[in-house]
Amino acid sequence: MRVLLLLAALLIPLVGCTPDAPNIAAARVVAGGSPIGGPHRLTPNDDIEVRFRFYADLNERVTVGPDGHITLQLIDDVPVAGLTVPEATKLLNQRYAKVLREPDVSITVRGYAPQEVYVDGWVTSPGLIRSDLPLTLSRAIAQAGGAKTGAHMDQILIIRRAGDGTFHYYEAALGNYGGVNHPDQDPVLSSYDLVYVPKTAIVSVADYVGTLTKNIPFYLNYPFNP
């Protein structure tokens, strides 16, 4: 897979330290053909269990809300979407340490939200794709009905929003065979990725991506910070 970071300025965060670039590595596949992504990051509608080693009365099972927060006893809402389980566990322990002695909180994911990816452009059925299994780039395009004749499969855009609100833009080339004969060109996608298959060659990717993120409903609530 030819993956290029198109806008280096997007690596500059709105606040805090520079975020890690999204993991857009080639897919690994287990027996049965299911792609394997990186560590799971909590997302809205994930069902998680929060347990305390010494305070069993505070144990509870909660769902990550559409705003990415969870509501727990004794502390305010906690933003956990985008965090791995270890990261969320550390955050909860920090929050509860202010009101409890040795909280020793643990988190277990009991149910995963379906993955949601938006596929647009020169495909048969553009729109929101939902899947209970991780999606690779080729699988997402296949679920959108496949690319139409003439699509520029060597200039597919993958747009991902980082945890700090900035966007990262990548260009991927599936070639004529997609991920079947070229697995190194078939990255695992993350929920809320936007995949765009162009009909014609894109001259100015930066301008093109800016228009996409501002006009596709999937991104209406996402700030655009080139």
| Lookup result for tokens 């004794």 | 74
The pLDDT of 43-60, averaged and rounded, is: 94
Sketch the domain layout of the chain as residue ranges. 4-38+114-219, 47-111
What local confidence, expressed as pLDDT, does residue 183 receive?
52
The pTM of this model reads: 0.66
Four-point Cα dihedral 164, 71, 132, 30, nearest 10: 70
Q: What angle do CA 214, 162, 86 make, to 5 degrees?
A: 150
What local confidence, expressed as pLDDT, does residue 10 receive?
29
The arrangement of strands across the sheet holding 105-111 comes to 60-63, 47-52, 105-111
What local confidence, expressed as pLDDT, does residue 179 receive?
44
Q: How far is residue 208's CA from residue 176's CA, in Å, rounded to a whole number?
A: 24
Domain 47-111 is found in CATH 3.40.50.1110 = no
Q: How far is residue 167's CA from residue 214's CA, in Å, rounded to a whole number?
A: 12
What is the per-residue pLDDT across 133-189, written as a single tens digit (0 to 9) for each?
A: 888 888 999 999 999 998 888 888 888 876 666 677 777 877 644 444 455 567 888
Domain 4-38+114-219, CATH among 3.20.20.70, 3.40.50.10130, 3.10.560.10, 3.40.50.300: 3.10.560.10
Lowest mean pLDDT among 36-45, 51-60, 95-104, 155-164: 155-164
Task: Indicate whether 101 pLDDT > 50.
Answer: yes
**DSSP reduced 3-state for 207:** helix
Residue type, 189: L
Average pLDDT, the chain: 76
Q: How far is residue 215's CA from residue 226's CA, in Å, rounded to a whole number?
A: 16
Task: Indicate whether 89 pLDDT > 70.
Answer: yes
Determine which helix (DSSP H) or strand (DSSP E) holds 214, and give its type and residue range: helix 205-215
13 vs 140, residue with greater confidence: 140
- The bridge status of strand 47-52 relative to strand 60-63 is antiparallel
Residue type, 12: I
